[in-house]
Structure 1
């Protein structure tokens, strides 16, 4: 109910609102466009959430902010029209037609928008009429004339690229991104290849390519008569299906390999490979390859060799799992395009060898040349599938280890005393005064420090993580990685970078600066011998050098973070009259290699880590009988028996018996374990 006392103020507010509405309409008539909104009316005093001063409904404040942003983005477009004399009209000259429910309102927005139409379409009771060319929407005026943009002119998926820079007019089909002729040829080849795979002739062709046990010759397939008769394009052809190589390697594995006879030598020479993408699944299908020949293929870049690596190896991580040629020891790239380009450059031979060896670190022979390298090849044992009864029998058998976990190892008391005296003096100065420790190094010694930042997934790491709350919060390895790091597969990929990671007292000022400024400060537990594992033995028969391997822990200062480390020293006698002898060093450092990693505790060597628990026992191995038979006749009998049981010739049978102490049964057992790694010439009679 409205009382007479309330009527006066209400009338004054209504008059003010009407004046404000007239002002809004005048601005709309002057600008004639910005925002398209629905019927705009002033809210009455009875509406909810009505602001007592401005008359703006609170529920519409967020919409006003959006309109303000839209107006600020388009204000420059309308400024010229707004300032034109012909566009200026009286605030009261706007024709309010009942059939036109929409108004073009400029910024700022009117006090109230009661019936918002939404983002997509007007309400059903007020149908929207598409604006004409003279009154097109703001977005169309910005983008240009009709048909210049929008989904109607966008090319459909699979259509030819209309970008004039990418495919200019007149570009041949062979250079286009989508070559219909090539796609048609690949589809035809795919169908033909599927038909040929089902025939026995294809399997016989694969058998004919096996020139010796484990040796597969797939070279010069472009001139192969069988493939030409069948109309099959080899993997090196540019029009061949992208998966023809994958199918070939899989079929070779299924048809030619057995659990005891694996393909270990493969020749792919003279196949016209411009890319090694067809070899991407070769390591998966034929993982036992030890020798690979890619000679005389026009491969343009050495980066194509990545297709022979696993995904982890391509990212610089060591991998022995599926997808890697870890058994590869020989690679031939004679006549390959990128090799010849390498050799024409200064120091190209070194760069070429470095580029190949960083991808295949286990190589012993490259391009037919024996490499002077020390490697530890990873051998794969043959896959053995057992039936359920055999599995139960193996599970029921008690498990045993030949040796138990032991602590420190010293070859003799003299070696132990020298190593202990050195470590006590060295690590004390390492923690307190590194300026004095430089005297313990030989002038031509080499020093390197690397950080293993990968977290351990071992049982010991799981046990240590349970007591994490009792130690300070671990910090980043950044200070150790920047020494610089020695990750040869990721951060140190060139010879210069790898050389710079080695430090030496030959540059004494830089060596002292590196030790005192770059290497983080540490604190070793010198008072607790249980936290140290020191193995020491003589490096050679002359007993002039000692090899010392230390596993222990320290605290990194000032954070107090616990870290474990492994440090290997090669020690020699201190020369008479040298500064090291004057400083009472028991020996001098010839080589120092340190690896820092996450904290792992002492569970790897302490007395609490015995393997003898439960049903597990320690059974020391029996001493082998190394005495050979007394007579040549007895040896000949054993050689003949070994030859009949293993299939090897007499020479390799004698070698097998000699390496197993002329114990026939043990020789046969060991033969079965390493059967896949024995060369083919051992079975030629």
Structure 2
């Protein structure tokens, strides 16, 4: 430290500012003792910086025992005198302002701010409703709505809006004569209460819906909806809606559609729950502001359609236009609910396998020949030329791959020793899991990610890029014992074939063997298509592939059998039947194990004191002498 000139021109360089300040305070010198004091250098260069702010903070405040300046009681950081709560302190500040002092600044939510430094005077009150007239209108609306809810007139008005069973027209509510007469603002009005929409949907559910007759079609067109927050409770109150019309509403953003989704769907989860319109198949948004603005952008139609479909993946009709999607009709068997008494006789019936498990199931010979011809072409191209394989898919087909990583080992040969020491080292499924594939619990947590795992020839380049990430394979095309084919007609018109193919392949270049299950939906090649020109027997409408660790062929080859002549699954003890029912049960057991008809089975049991095991043993002893009519 060097001293130049008199005390009015002290300059200190190269020292720590804080240490220097403490030393000066210890010497009884303040920062303004010298008129030209300059502290520079070190880690605390203070010319015009923190030291000057420290001076301003410490001005007028005495030193404490540690040599530091403590704020006085009159600073904004100190509590007011007396032991009062926060509310009492706010009241004290409010009282002082009303007594003639300057009013403290208001915060963003309209409360008086006891710390004016955070929100200085003049901060705009953007979040506080400064329009007392609107609050008065909403209060009046609450009163009017409560008044009409006490009577049945509003229910009759709702019934007049039903134009067909399950079809409700709630469009153009701002121009409705009854609402105008009662002075009730509809949900789309800017001054309507925030819960008026919930009241309407709940009232519709309780008034118009009956068991087995829900509201399935709802029109909310021309209701001046700028935002859809009034529809947040609609999926909870009317969950069975299949068609929803929101056309001619000035909806500002597509993000407003989140109000029609459940909480999980809003976060991107694919699972549906309470508050989800899982039955929605038709949606109309014609005239919505965000729709018209999106359609003006480059590729706006695709962007708009994708944005809506990712929120409602079950849509089939959008804005009155049928979407080009492959849909497979599924016939679901009705759920039969039986009482405990009805289940007892069913549980008491023995079960035996009626036929053996075989490696091929075919509905007809024509189905089998079509599937076999298809597999010869498909798996040869999948192993050698996947670029040419694109032509065997329908343009709107979907493809997906998932990896079942639960089995811990994979084999590098067909016969694997059971000893642990001779097993080959396991090969990781990392390439299959990171495709991305449909391993939802590993890599896919949002609807967008799960949608991206479905590939389609519509985007040829993306499909070929994805196929390059799929490991190369070599299928045993010439060895029929390593394949299992199950094929049948998918629909009553015999237009589509379902084929489930199980087998194995060698993964390249690792050389490990893996098992797979591949499910195809096949259809006839369209006229004029590349598949028809190449004379392919059929094209793929859907392709689902699941890769496993090597499992062998034991589940479908001829070496293993589930059907044995003397094996039957007997019901557990505890089935309560009368004597006739018990005898009928024993007769069925003997018939299942011997193949004899009911008359000879009953005769065999009667001669062996109704003991099944003795009857079966006796049957084996005299089997050669039993007449042929016993097996008819």
Does structure 2 retain, via aligned residues, the 8 Å contact 1:270–1:295?
yes
Residues 1:450 and 2:408 are matched in the alignment? no
Alignment partner, residue 229 of structure 2: 277
Selected match of 1:79 from 6, 19, 32: 19
Selected match of 1:480 from 435, 441, 448: 435
Deviation track 1:465-484 (CA, whole Å, cap 9, x = no partner) reads xxxx9995975554321899
Unaligned runs of 5+ in 1: 1-74, 90-131, 457-468, 505-509, 579-584, 618-685
Does structure 1 retain, via aligned residues, the 8 Å contact 2:392–2:538?
no
Instruction: Say if 1:231 and 1:151 are closer, same or farther in 2 by CA, change over 3 A.
Output: farther
Does structure 1 retain, via aligned residues, the 8 Å contact 2:261–2:277?
yes
Residues 1:220 and 2:172 are matched in the alignment? yes
Per mean C-alpha deviation after superposition, the further-off stretch among 285-294 and 349-358 is: 349-358
Alignment partner, residue 304 of structure 1: 256
Does structure 1 retain, via aligned residues, the 8 Å contact 2:110–2:128?
no
Does structure 1 retain, via aligned residues, the 8 Å contact 2:379–2:475?
yes
Q: 1:506-585 alignment to 2 at 5 Å?
A: 518-521=469-472, 529=481, 532-535=484-487, 548-552=499-503, 558=510, 564-568=516-520
Deviation track 1:55-92 (CA, whole Å, cap 9, x = no partner) reads xxxxxxxxxxxxxxxxxxxx955312245497299xxx
Instruction: Say if 1:391 and 1:539 are closer, same or farther in 2 by CA, change over 3 A.
Output: closer
Selected match of 1:292 from 219, 244, 251: 244
Alignment partner, residue 121 of structure 1: none
Instruction: Say if 1:569 and 1:320 are closer, same or farther in 2 by CA, change over 3 A.
Output: same
Does structure 1 retain, via aligned residues, the 8 Å contact 2:399–2:454?
no
Per mean C-alpha deviation after superposition, the further-off stretch among 267-276 and 179-188 is: 179-188
Does structure 2 retain, via aligned residues, the 8 Å contact 1:260–1:382?
no
Instruction: Say if 1:194 and 1:342 are closer, same or farther in 2 by CA, change over 3 A.
Output: same
Q: TM-score, normalised by structure 2?
A: 0.54
1:297: Cα distance to partner?
Answer: 0.8
Residues 1:133 and 2:91 are matched in the alignment? no
Secondary structure at the counterpart of residue 211 of structure 1: strand
Q: 1:375-386 alignment to 2 at 5 Å?
A: 375=327
Instruction: Say if 1:596 and 1:548 are closer, same or farther in 2 by CA, change over 3 A.
Output: closer
Secondary structure at the counterpart of residue 292 of structure 1: strand
Deviation track 1:291-345 (CA, whole Å, cap 9, x = no partner) reads 2211211101122222223344445554565433333333222221112223333
Deviation track 1:520-578 (CA, whole Å, cap 9, x = no partner) reads 255778879577444377999999x98754245668675969675425386999xxxx9
Residues 1:251 and 2:179 are matched in the alignment? no
Per mean C-alpha deviation after superposition, the further-off stretch among 246-255 and 141-150 is: 141-150
Q: How many residues align?
A: 462
Residues 1:176 and 2:134 are matched in the alignment? no
1:235: Cα distance to partner?
Answer: 1.2
Alignment partner, residue 490 of structure 1: 448
Alignment partner, residue 127 of structure 1: none
Unaligned runs of 5+ in 2: 1-14, 30-59, 81-88, 91-105, 407-419, 573-584, 586-632
Instruction: Say if 1:377 and 1:448 are closer, same or farther in 2 by CA, change over 3 A.
Output: closer
Aligned-partner Cα distance in 2 for 1:211–1:440: 52
Q: TM-score, normalised by structure 1?
A: 0.51
Alignment partner, residue 589 of structure 2: none
Q: 1:95-110 alignment to 2 at 5 Å?
A: none
Alignment partner, residue 187 of structure 2: 235
Does structure 1 retain, via aligned residues, the 8 Å contact 2:264–2:272?
no
1:275: Cα distance to partner?
Answer: 1.1
Selected match of 2:346 from 386, 398, 403: 398
1:217: Cα distance to partner?
Answer: 1.6
Instruction: Say if 1:170 and 1:524 are closer, same or farther in 2 by CA, change over 3 A.
Output: same
Secondary structure at the counterpart of residue 448 of structure 2: coil
Does structure 2 retain, via aligned residues, the 8 Å contact 1:274–1:298?
yes
Aligned-partner Cα distance in 1 for 2:217–2:330: 16
Secondary structure at the counterpart of residue 398 of structure 1: helix
Secondary structure at the counterpart of residue 568 of structure 1: strand
Secondary structure at the counterpart of residue 193 of structure 1: helix
